[in-house]
Chains A and B, each alone.
Chain A
Amino acid sequence: MKLLTFKRGIHPPDGKHFTASKPIENLLPKGDLVFPMSQHIGAPCEPIVKKGEKVLVGQKIGETKAFVSSPIHSSVSGTVKDVTPMLHPNGSKVLSVIIENDGLYEEHESLGPKGNYKDLSKDQIIEMIKEAGIVGMGGAGFPTHVKLSPPPEKNIDTIIINGAECEPYLTSDHRIMLEETNKVIEGLKIILHMFPQAKGYVGVENNKMDAIKALKEATEGIENIEVKVLKTKYPQGAEKQLIYAITGREVPSGGLPADVGCIVQNIDTAVAIQRAVVDGRPLMRRIVTVTGGAIKEPKNFEVKLGTSYRELIEAAGGFVSEPVKIISGGPMMGIALSSLDVPIIKGSSAILCLSKEEADLPEERNCIRCGKCVSVCPMNLLPLQLNQYAVNYDVDKFEKCHGMDCIECGSCSFICPAKRHLVQSIRTAKKTILNNRRKNA
């Protein structure tokens, strides 16, 4: 069978062997839980609990009235210890609710099945997803209810569940597809119930043949769902590249997947939708891969949101060697952390602890114009040119040469023999331009 894919891209070392065959282990938190009030793209939440207040599992502890936002729920029962700014995995300090776990896991009365989703309307389901605090769990954290509410004039005919997991080292989605296959499919069925004219796809890279087999078995006889085998290539799981691979459609520059009739959801997000709509449970857990050459026993964990990164590393046996870098997420797009005392949030797909050998920080040299960045850019940009405009603060030329279309996958920086900080400079220029636009708006 012909493998579906996009043009260009890279083949980084995959590092998935550490954890690909490790079943998900359930990990209960030991210490306090920290819930940053911003775990998503959009308006941060306001804490709705006070210091000293008793909270239950699934109780809402933060919310806002903004549409592009997502409420936060407690994942344990216990007492609010404090409401104060704490270090967030993105490196900044964010107002957070700290809860002392009483270990009883008493559940809030709002939890529990709400009946058959097939009897619910699209708007009712969107409201349930919004109330459950579901956001894209691949890392960016875009609120799922917003993604599922495209403008009415967009004719959505394709729902894609993103099982590419193209980031090296990450295996959390892989394990979910194997161990919670039916939940993934049911999550997709719920979305298809909301978009009855659409067809559902699960796209999986061909380095996860066991997951493909499990998904194919689980979807046998389901007419409007198809499992698509993708070529293992980075960034196969980038939204635009995934849509292209499966449908052959190009999301227009500056546009959204809905412009080409598509909605893409992450694997763990599909499971979260199933849990919210069928089981009546808000988003309180996620699957996290703890891995890297510096970790003693790399593993996949199911953890409660708010658990400290440090506890996960301890549960994975601690370090075998002094790690040089701790990364929240994968090595291509993840964020390097300065400390282990940050909580698992909705978008924490992995904790990657790179040893000295893995975390090379090579010296930046002159661009030799070899054109390797051009030959790998999935957006067909000229990264060397954008880098030049970015470091010269030439924002006009940067925009003219489509710098804003960069998806920041990092393929250019990966491949560059001169080790130039290509995507870094492009990212900075994009931020500058967005800030200017906001100021001038």
Chain B
Amino acid sequence: MRYLPLSDEDRAQMLAVIGAKSIDDLYVDVPREAVLKAPVALPAHQSEMEVERLMKPLASCNIPAGKTAFFLGAGAYRHHVPASVDHLIQRSEFLTTYTPYQPEIAQGTLQALYEFQTQVALLLDMEVANASMYDGSTGLHEAAMMASRVTKRSRVVLSGGVHPHYAETVRTACEAHGLEIVTLPAAIDDEAAVLRAMDANTAAVIVQSPNVFGTITDLKPIVAGANAAGALMIASFTEAMAFGLIEPPGAMGADIVVGEGQSIGNALNFGGPYVGLFATKEKYLRQSPGRLAGETVDADGKRGFVLTLSTREQHIRREKATSNICTNSGLCTLAWTIHMTLLGAEGLKRVATLNHENACDLADALAEVPGVEVLTPRFFNEFAIRLPKRADIVLDALMGKGIVGGVPFSRLNPREGLENVLLVCATETNTPEDLNAYAAALKDILQ
């Protein structure tokens, strides 16, 4: 019991001070029949060594991305994270502290959040950003609800390029809240359909760019259309690294920008924890969800930071809060901001360019394979290809050659009959050998 400091002697002494005969006396309010007489039927305590012996084999039955030629994106991205990031976030003072409710002894967390908010706002070219959401998908449902509060309307239109899991997350939470969610059919590029789908009760249109097929969309016409219809334009994304190279949504006039920040500072982690980035215009701030760090001064006039505008939040406003969210993604936020600080504008541009070049080279190489068509017209580091047969079958065959070749679109959305479409991603972590091996293997398989 290495984590429990009390000795039996301590326990006896403490019970005596309390005036209780046994620990059972302290559980008097528990209905007697509900008290377990013995430990539940699970294994007993084990040493570090024994636990490692159990956990390590579980880890080794998986094939980690780094052990293969790896081309998966579609919402999570494998990038190189500098060693110092993981070292710094494991410092006790960051790892084992709580929400900074006592700002006098939490300036480290608060200042890091303030820097994070600034970096997110600069990256997305938005006026303000919050201290993060759980992830991109839950941030998106919060954005949809926020748009409904701002516009006092209840219909939300989702482009067919929104990641299907994001669309399902939005539908699940928002329909319960009474919103009507209209998801357009899957489409590589559906600007016209989005514009057509707006009506007088539309609170927001949600367009993901780069979208799930990798397509980059010019958001300006959609912003214009949405604003003319009295709706907000919500720009969504799953690959934050893209904004090192492509025009950010804020520069195109988006009202809310929300997406996944995992690709900066955070490992793949089989889907979580990740970090949702959330930014908006100042005029909508009071309707926005999530924590905010703000600048102020202390009693001596020194600059410092506090959590602020918390009257929007559940612990004060209860059922009238802008969200039920009670945490942010603290440590993932810290990893993001440290990685971004290490990159700076120069590093970000360079790594983003490497991503794009690798993806372009891969697209060129795959397009050379007979029967393969690259579907995505404009992209950052991922794109869709159409294969002459089912993508899941091709993926299996590629696995046999040590290549994890992509995500079959039908895994994300089995309803659209796009069984032959494969979503492919290349990042700076892919070598030229990886790219060549992929094209050669695919050629082999399709012959």
Chain A bound to chain B: no
Residues of B within 8 A of A (CB): none
Residues of A within 8 A of B (CB): none
